[in-house]
C-alpha cells in the first residue's frame, strides 16, 4: 500500500488553518484494530448511552405500534373509502408495506458484520479518520435528544462507515433509510435489515397509505428515541462528487413531531465523508455516460472482491455541530397553529415547509464546508485544465497556488506535514495510478484504462470520456469552494468594456447562478449575500480590482479569474450545446417545436456533443458528455422558462420556449467562446436528425 503521511492532520504547515481547526482533531479508528485485531473487539461488552425517554422495544413491538397508530388506522379507513376495497384487504396491504419496510436490528447481526467490516476496511483503507470532538458532541446529545444523522452520500461505503463509527465509539447503532436496491440481494439484504436498514421506495407519489406507514414508522423512532435515525438527504449517491440538491420527504417526516409539539426538540447532525479515492469511481464515470449501474447482487459483490487488493487511501469523517431544531426554528414557526387538528391529519404550515427547505439546503452546504480537500483534488483541478500534459515540477507549483486560493476561500485542506510538494504529488499519483502516471519525461499523463466489464465499452471516445470523468470526479470535490467567486470571474473575464458596475456584475452573477443552480447548490434567496462575500474575497486576494464601485476589467483579468473561468467553462459549454440542440428541434406540422421526453433530449444532446467533439468543433472537454450535466442544464432551463414541460398520457414531454431559450442562449454565449456550428447530423434509432444551429 502506498504510504502517506502518518499524521495527516489538517494542514499543519498552514498556521492560519491550524488555528482555525485545532480542536477538530481527527483520530484514526483503524489503528487500534491493526494492532489488536478484531475478534475481541466484536464480542466486547458495550456501554451505550440511551435516550432518557426511551422505552425499550423490539423491532416487532415497533411494527405493532405503527399498525395500531391513529395515523395508519385513519389512512386505512381513507383507502377503503377511496378504493372501495374490503378493509381486510387494505389492512393486508398496510402489513405488507410495513413488513417490507421495517428493520430487524439486532446486536448479533451487527457484531458479525463488524467482524467482516474491520477486515474489509483494513484491506481497503490506510486510515479512517474521525473528528473526536464531533463524536463527543453526539455522545453528549444522545441521552437528551432524539438524533437525526444526515451524512453526505458519495459511496456505498458511507453507511457502512457510519455504523462502524457508532459501533467503535459505543454509541447506539443508527437505523438507516435504505432504497430497495439491496432488498433483492441474497443474504446481504437480510443482513442489512438485521443491522438496521429499513427499506423505503424511491418515490411514494400520492400513495397515502404508504406515506402514512412510512411517516409513522419514522416518527415513532424519533419520539421514543429507539435509535438515531440516519438518512441521506440527497437521496442517492452523488455520481459526480458534487452535492445534489436536497429532498425533503424524510426530513419533513422526522421533524413533524417537533412542529406538532409531540417532542421538545430534535438534534440534527450533518456528517461529511471525504474519500481520497472512491470505490465506485469508474462505475460512476460510465453511469454518467449512460451505462446503467449493474444491479446490486450478492454474486456481483463476490466477484468484486478483487478490489480488496487495491489501495483507497484515507477517509475523513467529520461530524458537524448538531443543530437543535427548536433553536433553528425559533421565531420562524408557530407550533400552536397545530393545536386544533389531530396530529396525523394536519399538514405542515408553509412556514414550516420553508424552514425544512432551508434546513435541507443548510445541511448540504454544511456537508461541503466540512469536506476535506486532498492534494489530489487540487491536482485534478489543474490537470483538467492541462490536457496536453504537465511536468510534475510545474504541477507542484500550480497545486501550491491552488492550495493558497482554496485556503483563502476557507477550504478544509488535508496536506501532509513536513513533506515536499513534489513527494506529496508523487504519492497521490501512485494512489491514483489507474488514472494517471508519470512518463519518462516526468510529465503527468492520463492512463488508458480498461472500462469496467459490464459497460462493454469499446468506442475510443467513450473510453477517453470515461477517463476524463473519473478525473473530474475528484476535481468536482472542490468546485463548491470556487463556484461563487468563479461566477464573478467568468463575468469579468468575458466583459468587453473597460469597466463593469457592481449592479451589472450582479445581474450577470444571477444569470449564471440560475443556469448552474442544478449542478451546484445555492440557498434560495441568498444570491446577494453570496455575491457580496465572494466579491469581497476576490478583491482582498487581488483577483478583482475595484475603483469607485466599478470593476476595472483590464486589471481584473489575471491568473486567478482566468483559472476560475476555465474551471467552470465545461458546464457553460455543455449547456450551450444543449440550447443549440433544443433550438434546432424543427417545428412539427402544427408549427410547434417537437416535444420529447427528458431522456430523449438528453441522449440526443449527448450524441450531438460527441459529434462536435469528434469533429474538433468544440474544445476537448469530454466531461460534457455527462448525462448528469445535461439533465441539470435542462432542469435549469425549465426553471428559467426556456423549456416547457407538458404531461401527455402520464408521460412528461419537453419542448423549447423558443423566444426565452434564444435569449438565454445569446446571453450564455457572452460568457464563453463558442464556435459557429456547422450542420451536424446525428443518427438516432436509425433516423438521421440534422442539428444546424443558428444563433
Ligand atoms: C458495526 C457494523 C454494522 C454495519 C451495519 C451496516 C448497516 C447498513 C445499513 C444499510 C443502509 C443502506 C442505506 C442506503 C442509502 C440509501 O439507500 S439513500 C436512498 C434512500 N433514502 C432517501 O431517499 C432519503 C431521502 N429521500 C426523501 O426524503 C424523499 O423525499 C422520500 C421520502 C424518499 C420520498 O420521495 P418522493 O416520493 O419523491 O417525495 P418528495 O419528492 O419528497 O415529495 C413528493 C410529493 O409528496 C408530498 N408529500 C410529502 N410528505 C407527504 C406526506 N406525509 N403524505 C403525503 N404526501 C406527502 C410532497 O408534498 C410532494 O408533493 P409535490 O410537491 O410533488 O406536489
Ligand atoms: O443511495 C443509495 C445506496 O446507498 C441508493 O442507490 P443509488 O445511489 O444507486 O441511487
Give the position, in ligand 1's atom list, of the atom nearest the Cα of 197.
9
Q: Ligand 2 centre from 293 Cα, in Å?
A: 10
Mean pLDDT over 368-384 rounds to 97
Q: Which pLDDT score is estimated for 522? A: 95
Q: Predicted confidence band at 496 (pLDDT cuts at 50, 70, 90)?
A: very high
Pocket test for ligand 2, best of 236, 273, 278, 291 (most atoms within 8 A of CB): 236
Checking if the pLDDT of 16 tops 60, the result is no
Q: Which pLDDT score is estimated for 571? A: 98
Give the position, in ligand 2's atom list, of the atom nearest the Cα of 237.
8
Helices (H) and strands (E) in the chain, counts: 28, 22
Checking if the pLDDT of 377 tops 50, the result is yes
Q: Ligand 1 centre from 77 Cα, in Å?
A: 24
Highest mean pLDDT out of 5-19, 550-564, 589-603: 550-564
Q: Where are the alpha helices (DSSP H) in 125-207?
A: 132-142, 157-168, 188-195
- Residue 204: CB within 6 Å of ligand 1? yes
Neighbours of 133 (CB within 10 A): 15
Q: Could you tell me which of 575, 553, 555 has the C-alpha nearest to residue 642?
A: 575
Checking if the pLDDT of 244 tops 60, the result is yes
Q: Kindly report, residue by residue over 384-402, the tens digit of the pLDDT.
A: 999 888 999 999 999 999 9
Q: Kindly report, residue by residue over 44-90, the tens digit of the pLDDT.
A: 899 899 999 999 999 999 999 999 999 999 999 999 999 999 999 99
Percent of the chain with pLDDT over 70: 92
DSSP 251-301: HHHHHHHHHTTSSS--EEEEEEEEESS-TTHHHHHHHHHTPPPPPP-HHHH
Q: Predicted confidence band at 590 (pLDDT cuts at 50, 70, 90)?
A: low
d(CA 123, CA 14) in angstroms, rounded, equals 31
Q: Predicted confidence band at 12 (pLDDT cuts at 50, 70, 90)?
A: very low
Percent of the chain with pLDDT over 90: 77
Give the position, in ligand 1's atom list, of the atom nearest the Cα of 179.
17
Q: Which pLDDT score is estimated for 694? A: 41
Residue nearest to ligand 1 atom 9, measured at CA: 197
Q: Kindly report, residue by residue over 119-137, the tens digit of the pLDDT.
A: 999 999 999 999 999 999 9
Give the position, in ligand 1's atom list, of the atom nearest the Cα of 168.
1
Q: Ligand 1 centre from 247 Cα, in Å?
A: 7
Q: Ligand 2 centre from 114 Cα, in Å?
A: 21
Q: Ligand 2 centre from 202 Cα, in Å?
A: 10
Q: Which ligand is nearest to the CA of 201?
A: 1
Q: Which pLDDT score is estimated for 297? A: 81
Distance of CA 201 to the CA centre of its chain: 19
Q: Which pLDDT score is estimated for 589? A: 56
Q: Ligand 1 centre from 248 Cα, in Å?
A: 7
Residue nearest to ligand 1 atom 16, measured at CA: 178
Pocket test for ligand 2, best of 162, 181, 185, 284 (most atoms within 8 A of CB): 181
Q: Ligand 1 centre from 625 Cα, in Å?
A: 29
- Residue 219: CB within 6 Å of ligand 1? no
Checking if the pLDDT of 17 tops 90, the result is no
Q: Which pLDDT score is estimated for 41? A: 86
Tell me the sheet residues that pair with 319.
Answer: 271
Checking if the pLDDT of 6 tops 60, the result is no
Q: What is the pTM of this model?
A: 0.92
Q: Kindly report, residue by residue over 264-303, the tens digit of the pLDDT.
A: 999 999 999 999 999 999 999 999 999 988 888 887 777 7
For cell 425533503, name the residue.
Answer: 248
Mean pLDDT over 145-152 rounds to 98
Pocket test for ligand 1, best of 204, 243, 367 (most atoms within 8 A of CB): 204
Q: Ligand 1 centre from 249 Cα, in Å?
A: 5
Q: Which pLDDT score is estimated for 683? A: 58
Q: Are 125 and 137 in contact (CB under 8 A)?
A: no
Residue nearest to ligand 1 atom 8, measured at CA: 192
Secondary structure class of 576 (helix, strand, coil): helix
- Residue 348: CB within 6 Å of ligand 1? no
- Residue 563: CB within 6 Å of ligand 1? no
Q: Ligand 1 centre from 438 Cα, in Å?
A: 45
Checking if the pLDDT of 114 tops 90, the result is yes
Mean pLDDT over 550-568 rounds to 95
DSSP 215-261: HHHHHHHHHHT-S-EE--TTSS--SSSSPPPP--HHHHHHHHHHHTT
Q: Ligand 2 centre from 234 Cα, in Å?
A: 10
Checking if the pLDDT of 13 tops 50, the result is no
Residue-averaged pLDDT of the chain: 90
Q: Are 180 and 301 in contact (CB under 8 A)?
A: no
Among 193-197, 291-295, 627-631, 639-643, which stretch is predicted with the lowest mean pLDDT?
A: 291-295
Mean pLDDT over 260-267 rounds to 95
For cell 413531531, name the residue.
Answer: 257
Q: Which pLDDT score is estimated for 588? A: 63
Q: Pull the grid cell for residue 81.
A: 373509502
Q: Which pLDDT score is estimated for 688? A: 59
Q: Ligand 2 centre from 112 Cα, in Å?
A: 24
Checking if the pLDDT of 24 tops 70, the result is no
Q: Which pLDDT score is estimated for 685? A: 52
- Residue 273: CB within 6 Å of ligand 1? no
Q: Kindly report, residue by residue over 405-445, the tens digit of the pLDDT.
A: 999 999 999 998 888 999 999 999 999 999 999 999 999 99
Q: Predicted confidence band at 457 (pLDDT cuts at 50, 70, 90)?
A: low
d(CA 252, CA 250) in angstroms, rounded, equals 5
Q: Ligand 2 centre from 294 Cα, in Å?
A: 12
Q: Are 114 and 22 in contact (CB under 8 A)?
A: no
H or E element, residue 91: helix 87-101
Q: Are 235 and 245 in contact (CB under 8 A)?
A: no
d(CA 280, CA 240) in angstroms, rounded, equals 11
Q: Which pLDDT score is estimated for 10? A: 44
Mean pLDDT over 457-463 rounds to 82
Ligand 2 neighbours by CB, cut-off 6 Å: 153, 156, 179, 181, 232, 236-237, 293
Q: Which pLDDT score is estimated for 504? A: 97
Give the position, in ligand 1's atom list, of the atom nearest the Cα of 166.
1
Cα–Cα distance list, 27 to 3, 256, 271, 372 (Å): 17, 35, 15, 14
Q: Which pLDDT score is estimated for 306? A: 84
Cα–Cα distance list, 326 to 64, 230, 231, 251 (Å): 30, 19, 20, 15
Which value does ipTM take for this structure?
A: 0.93
Amino acid at each position: 500500500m502506498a504510504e502517506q503521511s502518518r499524521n495527516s492532520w489538517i494542514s499543519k504547515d498552514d498556521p492560519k488553518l491550524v488555528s482555525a481547526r485545532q480542536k477538530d482533531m481527527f483520530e484514526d479508528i483503524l489503528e487500534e484494530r491493526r494492532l489488536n485485531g478484531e475478534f475481541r473487539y466484536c464480542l466486547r461488552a458495550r456501554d451505550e448511552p440511551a435516550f432518557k425517554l426511551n422505552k425499550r422495544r423490539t423491532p416487532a413491538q415497533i411494527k405493532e405500534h405503527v399498525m395500531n397508530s391513529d395515523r395508519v388506522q385513519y389512512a386505512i379507513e381513507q383507502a377503503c373509502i377511496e378504493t372501495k376495497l374490503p378493509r381486510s384487504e387494505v389492512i393486508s396491504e398496510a402489513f405488507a408495506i410495513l413488513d417490507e419496510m421495517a428493520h430487524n436490528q439486532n446486536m448479533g447481526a451487527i457484531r458479525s458484520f463488524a467482524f467482516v467490516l474491520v477486515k474489509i476496511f483494513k484491506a481497503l483503507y490506510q486510515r479512517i479518520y474521525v473528528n473526536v470532538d464531533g463524536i463527543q458532541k453526539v455522545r453528549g446529545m444522545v441521552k437528551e435528544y432524539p438524533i437525526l444523522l444526515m451524512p453526505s452520500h458519495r459511496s456505498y461505503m458511507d453507511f457502512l462507515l457510519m455504523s462502524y463509527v457508532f459501533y467503535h465509539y459505543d454509541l447506539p447503532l443508527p437505523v438507516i433509510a435504505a432504497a430497495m436496491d439491496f432488498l433483492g440481494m441474497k443474504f446481504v439484504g437480510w443482513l442489512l435489515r438485521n443491522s438496521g436498514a429499513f427499506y423505503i421506495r424511491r418515490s411514494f407519489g400520492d400513495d397515502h397509505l404508504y406515506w402514512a406507514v412510512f411517516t409513522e414508522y419514522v416518527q415513532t423512532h424519533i419520539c421514543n428515541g429507539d435509535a438515531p435515525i440516519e438518512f441521506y438527504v440527497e437521496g442517492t449517491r452523488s455520481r459526480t462528487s458534487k452535492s445534489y440538491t436536497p429532498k425533503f420527504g424524510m426530513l419533513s417526516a422526522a421533524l413533524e413531531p417537533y412542529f406538532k409539539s409531540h417532542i421538545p426538540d430534535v438534534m440534527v447532525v450533518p456528517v461529511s465523508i471525504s474519500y481520497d479515492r472512491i470505490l465506485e469511481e469508474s462505475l460512476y464515470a460510465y453511469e454518467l455516460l449512460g451505462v446503467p449501474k449493474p444491479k446490486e447482487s450478492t454474486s456481483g459483490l463476490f466477484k468484486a472482491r478483487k478490489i480488496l487488493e487495491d489501495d483507497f487511501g484515507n477517509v475523513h469523517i467529520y461530524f458537524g455541530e448538531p443543530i437543535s431544531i427548536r433553536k433553528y426554528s425559533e421565531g420562524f414557526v408557530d407550533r400552536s397553529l397545530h393545536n386544533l387538528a389531530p396530529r396525523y391529519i394536519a399538514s405542515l404550515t408553509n412556514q414550516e415547509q420553508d424552514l425544512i427547505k432551508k434546513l435541507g439546503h443548510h445541511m448540504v452546504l454544511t456537508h461541503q464546508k466540512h469536506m476535506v480537500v486532498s492534494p489530489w483534488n487540487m491536482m485534478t483541478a489543474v490537470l483538467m485544465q492541462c490536457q496536453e500534459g504537465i511536468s510534475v515540477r510545474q504541477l507542484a507549483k500550480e497545486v501550491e497556488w491552488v492550495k493558497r486560493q482554496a485556503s483563502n476561500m476557507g477550504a478544509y485542506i488535508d496536506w501532509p506535514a513536513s513533506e515536499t510538494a513534489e513527494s506529496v504529488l508523487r504519492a497521490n499519483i501512485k494512489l491514483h495510478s489507474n488514472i494517471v502516471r508519470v512518463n519518462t519525461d516526468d510529465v503527468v499523463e492520463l492512463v488508458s484504462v480498461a472500462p469496467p466489464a459490464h459497460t462493454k465499452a469499446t468506442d475510443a471516445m467513450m473510453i477517453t470520456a470515461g477517463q476524463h470523468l473519473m478525473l473530474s470526479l475528484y476535481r468536482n470535490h472542490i468546485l463548491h469552494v470556487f463556484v461563487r467567486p468563479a461566477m464573478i470571474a467568468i463575468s469579468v473575464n468575458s466583459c468587453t468594456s473597460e469597466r463593469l458596475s457592481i449592479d451589472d456584475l450582479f445581474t450577470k452573477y444571477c444569470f449564471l447562478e440560475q443556469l448552474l443552480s442544478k449542478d451546484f447548490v445555492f440557498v434560495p434567496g441568498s444570491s446577494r449575500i453570496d455575491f457580496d462575500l465572494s466579491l469581497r474575497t476576490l478583491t482582498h486576494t487581488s483577483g478583482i480590482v475595484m475603483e469607485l464601485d466599478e470593476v476595472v476589467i483590464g486589471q481584473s483579468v489575471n491568473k486567478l479569474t482566468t483559472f476560475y473561468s476555465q474551471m467552470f467553462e465545461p458546464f457553460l459549454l455543455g449547456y450551450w450545446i444543449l440550447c443549440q440542440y433544443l433550438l434546432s428541434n424543427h417545428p412539427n406540422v402544427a408549427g410547434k417545436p417537437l416535444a420529447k421526453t427528458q431522456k430523449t433530449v438528453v441522449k440526443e444532446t449527448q450524441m450531438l456533443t460527441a459529434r462536435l467533439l469528434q469533429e474538433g468543433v468544440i474544445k476537448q472537454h469530454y466531461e460534457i458528455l455527462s448525462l448528469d450535466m445535461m439533465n441539470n442544464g435542462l432542469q435549469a432551463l425549465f426553471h428559467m422558462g426556456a423549456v416547457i414541460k407538458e404531461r401527455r398520457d402520464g408521460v412528461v414531454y419537453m419542448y423549447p420556449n423558443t423566444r426565452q431559450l434564444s435569449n438565454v442562449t445569446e446571453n450564455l454565449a457572452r460568457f464563453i467562446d463558442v464556435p459557429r456550428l456547422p450542420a451536424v447530423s446525428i443518427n438516432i434509432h436509425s433516423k438521421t436528425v440534422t442539428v444546424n444551429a443558428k444563433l
